Amino acid sequence: PKRIFTFRKGEAERPADAIESLGLKGANLALLASLDLPVPPGFTISTAAWREAKASGESMPIALRSDLNAMVEWLERVTDRRFDGDRRPLLLAVRTSGPTAMPGLADSVLDIGLNDRTVEILARELSDTDFAFRNYRRLVESYAQIVHDADPTEFEELSDAEAAERGWSGEPSTIEDWRALMARYHAFLDSELGVVMPQTPFEQLVEVVSASFASWRSPAAAAHRILHGIPENAGLAVTVHAMIFNERNRHSGRGRALSRDLATGRSRLTGEFLLGSRDLLEKIERAAPIDLGELGGKTSERFPGEVGELTRCVKVLEAHLGDVVEVDFMVGDGELFLLQSRIARRSVAEGVRLAVEFVREGLIEEEEALLRIDAASLDQLLHPTIQRPADYRVLARGMPASPGAATGVIVFSSDAAQRLASDGRGVILVRHETHPEDIHGMHVSEGVLTIRGGTTSHAAVVARGIGKPCVTGAGTLRILSDARELHAAGTILKEGAEITIDGTSGEVIEGAVPLVRPSLDGDFATLMEMADRARRMGVRTNAETPAEARAARGFGAEGIGLSRTEHMFFEGDRIRAMREMILAPDEKGRRAALNGLLPIQRADFIELFEIMAGLPVMIRLLDPPLHEFLPQGESDILETAEMLGIDEASVRQRIAALQEFNPMLGHRGCRLAISHPEIVEMQSRAIFEAAIAAGEKTGSAVVPEIMVPLVSLRRELDFVKERIDRVAAEVTAESGSRFTYTVGTMIELPRAVVRADTIAEVADFFSFGTNDLTQTVYGISRDDAANFLSTYVREGIIERDPFQTVDVEGVGELIAMAVQKARRTKPDISLGVCGEQGGDPASIAFFEQAGLDYVSCSPFRVPIARLAAAQSTI
């Protein structure tokens, strides 16, 4: 095989699989050289040579040794220097790299070629004894460490001893002192390690290359390979190049430069440059770019040519790679060299800005710009985040249930939340789990933390809907309700203590951590416009409150894809009318109570229709089992009985009667509508009357879409639709207004999938309820899943939580089947999805493939869905 590949400015031997063959560093230097950018001349010993050596069992096979020798001779010619020469000694740097960045590989070894003789020649050549010996000393230290595993602190001790003996401090001051120090180093190698550092430069090189080869087997590298599935035989490459004397004088240094100013996206050389210093890398502050052209006037004055050349280099690279580049560079006695380049790292906001700017400058197409942004990461632009760098103590970790960070004082009940919030305090509501009656508490809180539940639990779904950060399932926390204390990792927090939650990471943090609230600037809007041009699917929102609907419209939602009407019954004293209805002894009583709810519902719908004027609004009939609306605690029961004038025993009796073993599989969805048609009638009437009223107000006709939940039989939908149609006829007759509406169903049960063709005969639309569909296809309760699904993911039994990302092989297969069946019956049937997966980028890619017409998601996920829908078409 070809074992070694050379490079120098303007020419490079580059194999097709450069990274696999030459490692990251070698491939990168070869690229820079081939673009005619200034790099030190050198060569890379390929992974093929490494494999050959490994197979031979020798640390340096003869063939490689002789190739290496030939390459050194080539470098001598190119540089006009000699390894071990009598003048102008050739010094080499050795750098090791694998196919990806990985820990455990040998560190770089610099100045190979220095020995007791050449160090003095170099000192004379440069008229700089200290510089020459400093490099020699560093070479001996790295040689001992890399080749013989020496402990670096040993050399500090040697140096201290020598300084004390000869009376210098810091570093030797005369050539005699330097010679004595190096003699002490050699003696140490001999006596303590039992080795002699080769005085022949070529033998130094051979030993260092062999040691670099062996570092592939270091425990850290081996662990990394296993973790990332990198085959043992991939191997490493060793790059050898001429040394640059970047620490030599006032005309030398090293730095890191970017082709653009990340803060503005504009072309402008930024970065850091340090003159003649050694430990620059630690000092680089990416956050504070320095204009290299202006650096105190010094850089451009001292290196006018180099700054211009550096600017040219990053421009060439940026044009070649089509993205912002970052380069590591060195200046040796006024001459510029590039050592490494990479695509510049950036924050989400910077990424958006750059993608838009690149399109504006005509450097990339819109499609490419869209693909450069990780859709899910847009979350960071929509919610407050923890200001970085941050130093904090994590009390517990839960599920990242609703993104963003929030700080506030802890409260354990929704009433306390309301009380403190009305005093102007920011509160975090902490509950075992939340229930519908907690909604008012959640609304006034900055964030929500629950001990139980997963990412589709009540707390998670509601929090996402209203855009509040939420962490669920923080199972290591304990709430002591009576003491009003939260116990966490040995810390006791009383009600009123401050905490921070991060719903993006799932962290629960002690105390208040500073947050940053990013703004949606022009570039963000521009990116969204690009996404809208590219996507095929519509993006609607799941919303029921005016605040949610407004927020969603602001984020670009094209209508409402799910309005869960039950959430409207918990607000204020509506719950009372709802309880009155449920507790009524007969249908007559129920109808009377429902009459009280009618105007409230109508007003809700009018507001939604107005906010969404001109856009479709899909309203779902009541879904949850009735017991969810009933009082829970002792005092609540007494209060309800008194308020409604019903005796306490009847209330208890009714609660007992409505008790179910598996309420999620029980008396809910269209089953409720069938046993209580009066509820359907009230809701339909409210919808139709609101449509008429809102239509008159806004001047554009409202076409409500009424959705029936949890259908598994066509006859169920027939039954409910009959009631809806009858009410429509009544309202038309009463009002004299004509209006149109559609009736459809959710597909959220396996039987509905199997019978999709016949159900489609009655339905104008389907919306896939992937929360319930996942729950019923797997037979996994969505509220209890968090307890074991994380173990499934950890153990590799499933790749991802199917309640977050649609399970393409199982649930997805069923969706595809229902789509096919439905379209066979009714080619133009409208098909959407409104489960949580509707806002998940990976799921959206599947929904695009499945041919759905739109996705619907919580308001804050609308921008993510717009981008993901666009990406899934590219």
Active centre residues (catalytic)? 458, 834
Q: Rule CB under 6 A: is residue 544 a binding residue for ligand PEP?
A: no
Nearer to ligand PEP, 120 or 544 (CB): 544
Q: Rule CB under 6 A: is residue 769 a binding residue for ligand PEP?
A: yes
Q: Rule CB under 6 A: is residue 385 a binding residue for ligand PEP?
A: no
Total chain residues near Mg ion (CB under 5 A): 3
Selected range binding ligand PEP among 47-55, 254-262, 680-688, 770-778, rule: CB under 6 A: 770-778
Six token digits for residue 863? 């921008």
Selected range binding ligand PEP among 39-47, 218-226, 725-733, 765-773, rule: CB under 6 A: 765-773
Is 322 annotated to bind a ligand? Reply is: no
Q: Rule CB under 6 A: is residue 465 a binding residue for ligand PEP?
A: no
Selected range binding ligand PEP among 371-379, 500-508, 683-691, 766-774, rule: CB under 6 A: 766-774
Least distance from C-beta 238 to Mg ion, angstroms?
A: 59
Sign of CA dihedral 226, 231, 235, 236: negative
Q: Rule CB under 6 A: is residue 772 a binding residue for ligand PEP?
A: yes
Least distance from C-beta 472 to Mg ion, angstroms?
A: 18
Site for Mg ion in 393-412 (CB under 5 A): none
Six token digits for residue 553? 């419209």
- Residue 158 phi, psi dihedral angles, 5° rounding: -60, -45
Sign of CA dihedral 570, 573, 578, 583: positive
Is 620 annotated to bind a ligand? Reply is: yes
Site track for ligand PEP across 232-271, x = CB under 6 A: ----------------------------------------
Least distance from C-beta 414 to ligand PEP, angstroms?
A: 21
Nearer to ligand PEP, 110 or 664 (CB): 664
Is 769 annotated to bind a ligand? Reply is: yes
Least distance from C-beta 852 to ligand PEP, angstroms?
A: 14
Site for ligand PEP in 723-762 (CB under 6 A): 748
Six token digits for residue 659? 């008790």
Q: Rule CB under 5 A: is residue 769 a binding residue for Mg ion?
A: yes
Selected range binding ligand PEP among 241-249, 375-383, 583-591, 768-776, rule: CB under 6 A: 768-776
Is 772 annotated to bind a ligand? Reply is: yes
Site track for ligand PEP across 4-33, x = CB under 6 A: ------------------------------
Least distance from C-beta 817 to ligand PEP, angstroms?
A: 17
Site for Mg ion in 691-730 (CB under 5 A): none
Task: Name every residue whose Cβ is closer than 8 Å to that of residue 649 and which is 6 or more positions away in sequence.
Answer: none
Q: Name the residue with the smallest CB distance to Mg ion.
A: 772
Instruction: Choose, by CB under 6 A, the member of 323, 548, 623, 716 that binds ligand PEP.
Output: 623
Sign of CA dihedral 398, 403, 405, 408: negative
Neighbour order of strands in the sheet with 267-275: 290-291, 267-275, 253-260, 325-332, 335-343
Least distance from C-beta 838 to ligand PEP, angstroms?
A: 8
**Would you tell me how many other CB atoms lie within 10 Å of the CB of residue 6?**
17
Least distance from C-beta 546 to ligand PEP, angstroms?
A: 19
Task: Name every residue whose Cβ is closer than 8 Å to that of residue 729 and which is 6 or more positions away in sequence.
Answer: none
The whole-angstrom separation of Cα 769 and Cα 834 is 6
**Would you tell me how many other CB atoms lie within 10 Å of the CB of residue 290?**
18
The whole-angstrom separation of Cα 810 and Cα 789 is 16
Total chain residues near ligand PEP (CB under 6 A): 10
Site for ligand PEP in 151-170 (CB under 6 A): none
Nearer to ligand PEP, 240 or 752 (CB): 752
Nearer to ligand PEP, 577 or 811 (CB): 811
Selected range binding Mg ion among 172-180, 223-231, 768-776, 824-832, rule: CB under 5 A: 768-776
Site track for ligand PEP across 492-511, x = CB under 6 A: --------------------
The whole-angstrom separation of Cα 111 and Cα 204 is 10
Six token digits for residue 825? 């019956």
Per-residue HEC secondary structure of 278-313 comes to CCCHHHCCCCCCEECCCHHHHHHHHCHHHHHHHHHH
Nearer to ligand PEP, 538 or 835 (CB): 835
Nearer to ligand PEP, 252 or 456 (CB): 456
CA angle 471, 476, 477 (to 5 degrees): 70
SS3 content of the chain, % helix, strand, coil (to 5): 50, 20, 30
Per-residue HEC secondary structure of 580-612 comes to HHHHCCCHHHHHHHHHHHHHHHHHHHHHHHHHC
The whole-angstrom separation of Cα 326 and Cα 271 is 9
Contact predicate 299/273, CB 8 Å? yes
Site for ligand PEP in 828-857 (CB under 6 A): 834-835
Least distance from C-beta 436 to Mg ion, angstroms?
A: 15
Is 716 annotated to bind a ligand? Reply is: no
Per-residue HEC secondary structure of 416-476 comes to HHHHHHHCCCCEEEEECCCCHHHHHHHHHCCEEEECCCCCCCHHHHHHHHHCCCEEECCCC
Is 770 annotated to bind a ligand? Reply is: yes
Nearer to Mg ion, 608 or 711 (CB): 711
Six token digits for residue 251? 């005309």
Classify residue 51 by its DSSP letter.
H
Least distance from C-beta 5 to ligand PEP, angstroms?
A: 56
- The number of C-alpha atoms within 13 Å of 169 and in the hemisphere containing its C-beta is 0
Quick one: what does residue 403 bind among ligand PEP, Mg ion, none, with the CB cut-off 5 to 8 Å set by partner type? none
**What 3-state class would DSSP assign to 488?**
strand
Instruction: Choose, by CB under 5 A, the member of 120, 318, 502, 772 that binds Mg ion.
Output: 772
Nearer to ligand PEP, 562 or 682 (CB): 562
Nearer to ligand PEP, 695 or 838 (CB): 838
Instruction: Choose, by CB under 6 A, the member of 135, 771, 858, 871 that binds ligand PEP.
Output: 771
Q: Which segments of 78-206 are extended strands (E)?
A: 92-97, 109-112
- The number of C-alpha atoms within 13 Å of 227 and in the hemisphere containing its C-beta is 9
Task: Report which of 549, 570, 568, 569 is spatially closest to residue 560, judged by C-alpha positions.
Answer: 549
The whole-angstrom separation of Cα 555 and Cα 736 is 37
**What 3-state class would DSSP assign to 385?**
strand
Q: Rule CB under 6 A: is residue 770 a binding residue for ligand PEP?
A: yes
Quick one: what does residue 235 bind among ligand PEP, Mg ion, none, with the CB cut-off 5 to 8 Å set by partner type? none
Per-residue HEC secondary structure of 80-98 comes to CCECCCCCCECCEEEEEEC
Helix (H) or strand (E) holding 637: helix 634-644
Q: Rule CB under 5 A: is residue 561 a binding residue for Mg ion?
A: no
Least distance from C-beta 748 to ligand PEP, angstroms?
A: 5
Contact predicate 38/313, CB 8 Å? yes
Nearer to ligand PEP, 369 or 773 (CB): 773
Nearer to Mg ion, 290 or 710 (CB): 710
Contact predicate 617/561, CB 8 Å? no
The amino acid present at 64, given as its one-letter code, is: L
Quick one: what does residue 239 bind among Mg ion, ligand PEP, none, with the CB cut-off 5 to 8 Å set by partner type? none
The whole-angstrom separation of Cα 473 and Cα 782 is 13
Selected range binding ligand PEP among 129-137, 500-508, 553-561, 767-775, rule: CB under 6 A: 767-775
Instruction: Choose, by CB under 6 A, the member of 22, 237, 562, 720 that binds ligand PEP.
Output: 562
Sign of CA dihedral 297, 299, 305, 307: negative
Q: Give contact residues for ligand PEP (rule: CB under 6 A).
A: 562, 564, 623, 748, 769-772, 834-835
Q: Give contact residues for Mg ion (rule: CB under 5 A).
A: 748, 769, 772
Residue positions forming the annotated binding site = 564, 620, 748, 769-772
Residue positions forming the annotated binding site for Mg(2+) = 748, 772
Residue positions forming the annotated binding site for substrate = 564, 620, 748, 769-772
